[in-house]
Amino acid sequence: MAAKSILIGANMRILITGAAGFLGSHLCDRLLAEGHEVVGMDNFVTGKRENIAHLSGNENFRFIRHDVSNYIYVPGKLDAVMHFASPASPNPKSPIGYPNLPIQTMKAGALGTHNTLGLALANKARFMLASTSEIYGDPQEHPQTESYWGHVDPIGERSVYDEAKRFAEALTMAYHRFHGVNTTIVRIFNTYGPRMHTDDGRAVANFIQQALRGEKLTVYGDGQQTRSFCYVDDLIEGIYELLMSKEHDPVNIGNPEEITIEQFAREIDDLVGKKAGLTFLKEMRFSGDPQRRQPDITRAKKVLGWEPKVSLRDGLTKTVAYFKQEYGL
């Protein structure tokens, strides 16, 4: 386990942008449970008020509705700034997908990162950037290590997200090297669990929805493309450990258990129990969809003492229960 930084302990005051999002809301819960004061910020473009409604009576939680691409003012001292605000779904048919929010996505990654880094600098605060496995693009290295530079299309449909995150990483390291800001970068791989968008168009949501309706699960391509799915509780634990560490370089946080999309679909079909089966469509779901995705988490193990604990079956069971609750089933 890596040595903890001076941040360790309760009574820190932490800003989380994207606080009403899937990951941001879970981070709010975790930090509040650890005794910290949380300032949540969101403009509800993709975040949901329901995700933080249960925090309205918590004296240690304050919410500010604001677009991070505009100048940010937060009264009082901050000990940490966590920039998690950004659309994240590649689904062009979803209103929350970044193909339908291209300018907002670029601004959240560029202007939002600039504004939050400036806030961290002014407060001499720890800064965390929520980056993504998408900075590796359609990787030619497998599994992906943090030292891999990536294989990314800079002008494709996905570029508004991929390049925004790559720019954000570069800006974060510039502030660290030039201004001495205490920064860190978490590269997040596919994550699922309660509070995820049920209509974001990605594999988890699509398969669970179809399985609950008793429909055949639609697999795009031959189904042999791979992903590695991390349950949200494991991810939040890794993010918390990284925030409290002295690490400045990017760290992959994800589950290294690689599975084909076909296998994943059959797992959900079996779990839901309606046994509708699968149907295959020749074309790929999204333009530029990576063929393989698997994190190398050697650095996370070494510097954080972290690795995922929740099995795919257990995580999916909890996620299916959430979807049933959302749909009133």
CATH number at residue 46: 3.40.50.720
> pLDDT confidence of 3, banded at 50, 70, 90?
very low
> pLDDT confidence of 99, banded at 50, 70, 90?
confident
Tell me: pLDDT of 18 over 70.
yes
pLDDT given at position 121: 98
For 122-128, what is the mean pLDDT? 97
Chain centroid to Cα 222, Å, comes to 27
Residue 324 included in any domain: no
CA distance 124 to 279: 54
**Structure confidence by residue, pLDDT tens digits, 174-195:** 999 999 999 999 999 999 999 9
Residue 269 included in any domain: no
Residue 231 a catalytic site member: no
Tell me: pLDDT of 5 over 90.
no
Domain containing 20: what range?
13-194+231-256+294-309
* Lowest-confidence pick of 10-14, 130-134, 299-303: 10-14
Residue 202 included in any domain: no
Among 107, 63, 102, 100, residue whose Cα is nearest residue 85: 107
**Structure confidence by residue, pLDDT tens digits, 30-42:** 999 999 999 999 9
For 146-167, what is the mean pLDDT? 93
Catalytic residue (choose from 161, 175, 192, 231): 161
**Structure confidence by residue, pLDDT tens digits, 50-97:** 999 999 999 999 999 999 999 999 999 999 999 999 988 777 777 778
Tell me: pLDDT of 234 over 60.
yes
Among 139, 129, 72, 98, residue whose Cα is nearest residue 253: 129
pLDDT given at position 291: 79
Residue 119 included in any domain: yes
Residue 5 included in any domain: no
Q: Domain tally for the chain? A: 1
- Averaged confidence pLDDT in the chain: 92
For 117-127, what is the mean pLDDT? 98
Residue 123 included in any domain: yes
Core vs surface per residue 185-194: b (16+ CB within 10 A) or e? bbbbbbbbbb
Residue 115 included in any domain: yes
| pTM > 0.95: yes or no | no
The percent of residues above 70 in pLDDT, for the chain, comes to 95
pLDDT given at position 2: 45
How many Cβ atoms sit within 10 Å of the Cβ of residue 236?
19
Tell me: pLDDT of 6 over 60.
no
Residue 220 included in any domain: no
